[in-house]
Amino acid sequence: MAHIQPPAAAMGDDTSLNMTPMIDITFQLIVFFMLTLKFPSVSSRFETQLPHRGPRSDPVELVPFQEITVSLFRKDTEKDKAEHFTRVRVGQKLTVDLPKGPWRSDSGYEGSRRAEEDKLFRQVSEAIGAAWEQQGRSPEIKGEIKTPPPTGQLVPHGDVMRVLDAFVMAGVTAVNFEGAPAPLSTRDGGGWDFATPQRPR
């Protein structure tokens, strides 16, 4: 007994599915959600960060950070050593003159002289702090200790160290030192006794 198969076209009509309407509906839903979707948290954050004023018509010049410079000078070096003193200048804002005479160790300080120096270096530290405050107390700002010639090499080491302490007290910890010229010997008009006599040839 022979089996009769239905035509191929008749079998395909029962299993095929038309995808065109489904694709159209899918794209319509995507467009709908894209047009109606909102992100409240993101939009509010953007709104709060936008400036309330209009755009500036004048250009804004960015001022670079300025180093806080303290210069030290040794004054009255042509006089007797008891008359020598150190002048400390913080930028162009403050100039103080330290007590006269040679720099001594802590144990040799007189009470009145030490109190006077402490008062002057507090002023130096306050001037450094004020200069740092004007620039927003940025950690990128550095201090600079300079000993300009011709008398910079005669500034006692103790005065330089006290200026460094003034920087640290003000909060500025990055401090550069400018190398002073070589000190002059007494034979060349300086105050250092290391001149060696020349040997006869």
Does pLDDT of 170 surpass 70? yes
Q: Among the listed ranges 68-77, 83-92, 96-105, 164-173, which one has the minimum average pLDDT value?
A: 96-105
**Burial (CB count within 10 angstroms: exposed 0-12, middle 13-18, buried 19+), residue 192:** middle
Does pLDDT of 201 surpass 50? no
Q: Which is more confident, 104 or 115?
A: 115
- Predicted structure pTM score: 0.57
Name every residue whose Cβ is closer than 8 Å to that of residue 170 and which is 6 or more positions away in sequence.
125, 126, 128, 129, 132
Cβ(86)–Cβ(98) below 8 Å: yes
Q: Which is more confident, 2 or 85?
A: 85
**Burial (CB count within 10 angstroms: exposed 0-12, middle 13-18, buried 19+), residue 63:** exposed
Instruction: Report which of 80, 92, 157, 94 is spatially closest to residue 125, judged by C-alpha positions.
Output: 94
pLDDT of residue 61: 58
Helix (H, G, I), strand (E, B) or coil at 96: strand
Q: Note the pLDDT tens digit of each residue in 5-32.
A: 555 555 555 677 888 888 999 999 999 9
Q: Among the listed ranges 35-39, 47-51, 122-126, 194-198, which one has the minimum average pLDDT value?
A: 194-198
Q: Which is more confident, 128 or 45?
A: 128
Alpha carbon 114 to chain centroid distance? 32
Averaged pLDDT for residues 128-154 = 86
Averaged pLDDT for residues 123-130 = 92
The alpha carbon torsion through 179, 185, 186, 189 (nearest 10 deg) reads: -60
- Mean pLDDT, rounded, of the chain: 76
Does pLDDT of 84 surpass 80? yes
Averaged pLDDT for residues 116-136 = 90
Instruction: Look up residue 108 and give its DSSP letter.
Output: G
CB atoms within 10 A of CB 30: 10
